[in-house]
Structure 1
Amino acid sequence: MRTTLSYKRFPTPVRVIIRQSQENIIATAWDAVEFLRRWPGKRGLAYRRALQHCLDALDGISSPQKAWASFVSAMKEEGVLI
């Protein structure tokens, strides 16, 4: 069961494709945290920033827009953003 924290909606959903077959639609900060925790790629600065901003959005410390921007940046760095 999802908690109300999971409804920190992103301004627009993010489509991510891993290994040319697995498509993921990330629509909330909670979705992003779950996706990032399973992330098979490198966990560099952009990854760590995205994870922290998404966790901060869930805690109400920062906005879902900031989390979205960080997540998009991390996915662009990895070359998996559609």
Structure 2
Amino acid sequence: MRKTVSDKRFPTPVRVIVRHHQENIIATAWDAVEFLRRWPARRGLAYRRALQHCLDALDGIRSAKKAWASFTAAVREEGLLA
């Protein structure tokens, strides 16, 4: 069976809060990339690292666990972690 983009599951989903207390559940590297493309905060180093690590996970270059760690760090840095 061939793996798809959605198979790049994070170890645990990340709950993110954005405008008006809207909650998003980010469960895969693909979900994270989609969220990062609409990123509602400063696009600093942590953001750029998270985006690259998530794209790398989709390409099979990096683990979903590493992408998850980078994404979580970026969300936490900007105060978006629920």
TM-score range relative to shorter protein:
over 0.9
Amino acid at match of 2:52: Q
Which secondary structure state, in structure 2, belongs to the residue aligned with residue 50 of structure 1? helix
Let me know the Cα RMSD of the aligned residues: 1.2
TM-score, length of structure 2 as denominator length: 0.93
Q: Aligned partners of 1:65 and 1:9: how far apart in 2?
A: 8
Query: Residue by residue, what CA displacement relative to the aligned partner does 1:19-53 show, whole Å, maximum 9, x if unpaired?
Result: 24210000000000000001121100000000000
Instruction: After TM superposition, give the deviation of residue 5 of structure 1 in Å.
Output: 1.5
1:74 paired residue number: 74
Amino acid at match of 2:38: R
Q: Aligned partners of 2:21 and 2:72: how far apart in 1?
A: 19
Amino acid at match of 1:30: W
1:30 paired residue number: 30
Same amino acid, percent of matched pairs: 79
After TM superposition, the runs of 4+ consecutive aligned structure 1 residues lying more than 4 A away are none
- The gaps in structure 2 that reach 5 residues or longer are none
1:12 paired residue number: 12
Name the count of aligned residue pairs. 80
TM-score, length of structure 1 as denominator length: 0.93
Q: Aligned partners of 1:54 and 1:23: how far apart in 2?
A: 20
